[in-house]
Amino acid sequence: MFVILLLMLTVLTTTVSLNTRTTAGMFISSWQGKLRLARDAAENGLVNSVSELNKPANRMLVGSVPLNKWTTDDTDILTDGNYIRVKKDSTIYPKPCMYLVFNNPQNPDERSKPWNEYVYKITEQALFMAAASVDTTKRLIQDSENGQFYRVLGIKLTDMDRLPISRANGKAADNAVSYLTITVEGIYSLGTAPTTANPYPPNSVHYTVQQEYQLVPRCCRQIAYPVDTGSTSNACAAVNPIGAYKPEWIARSTSQAGLFKTNQ
């Protein structure tokens, strides 16, 4: 009888152990799958974010407006002889810089076409990237579908020596390489969609990534980057008529990458 009880206890213990390990394995597998989807959302958010900043209307922001001024709606910058208010849908580009992609590029009248006005308007998504670090209410939740979302947690600038550029009054250099760091949080939440007010719904999984990009100045309407030839002059210094054209900044290549926290 004692031997039989011992055998039954051994079988029971083994069965419970196997069930526990199976359940734990399923949980880990499920969590890893969700984490992978959250990471995919974050990486997709990085690509979308740098593309947003590289849109023609947003390229002048980093070298013309300190980060803390992007969403204040109280800052003007000089473009083609006119002062433009920095806010959503403002046309920040000086008219001579506007590329003419359609119709006759030699016809200056084409610059007044509605599509031109649309292409060169500052976007809300770009403005809120800078505000995210100081105002969490402006962290836009972007839907990537299939329960995947992302939001930009913030951007920062550093100079050629990777020293911080002041958010209050600093700007990217127009004659040297600077660096732009973007931090993005990916969210996987198949049930309740995250919102600005509730970014952490129950059972959601989050993955935060950070990427640093080279920020390179060039003169608008030009292809070449003067800093690549060793130039230390304003990116538009050699372009005539001087003053009609303005520098723009392109997030051109990846410099450093970092992976941050994950949580469920």
Length of the chain: 264
pLDDT score for 85: 92
Domain presence at residue 127? no
Q: How many domains does the chain have?
A: 1
Tell me: pLDDT of 22 over 60.
no
Task: Judge if pTM exceeds 0.85.
Answer: no
Domain presence at residue 80? no
Domain presence at residue 211? yes
Rounded-to-integer distance, Cα 144 and Cα 195, Å: 13
If pLDDT is split at 50, 70 and 90, which confidence band does 30 have?
A: confident
Tell me: pLDDT of 70 over 70.
yes
- DSSP class per residue in 13-25: HHHHHHHHHHHHH
Domain presence at residue 182? yes
- φ, ψ (nearest 5 deg) of residue 118: -70, -45
Distances (CA, A) of 59 to 40, 97, 145, 216, 250: 26, 12, 28, 10, 6
Per-residue pLDDT reduced to its tens digit, 104-149: 455 555 555 665 666 788 999 999 999 877 777 778 899 988 899 9
Q: Is the dihedral of CA 161, 167, 169, 172 positive or negative?
A: positive
| Domain span at 152 | 2-55+132-263
Q: Is 229 exposed, middle or buried (0-12, 13-18, 19+ CB in 10 A)?
A: exposed
pLDDT score for 23: 43
Higher pLDDT, 230 or 13: 230
Domain presence at residue 6? yes
Higher pLDDT, 151 or 30: 151
pLDDT score for 238: 86
Token pair belonging to 59:
């390229």
Domain presence at residue 113? no
Domain presence at residue 110? no
Per-residue pLDDT reduced to its tens digit, 225-253: 999 999 999 999 988 777 778 899 999 98
Residue 66, preceding peptide bond in cis (omega within 30° of 0) = no
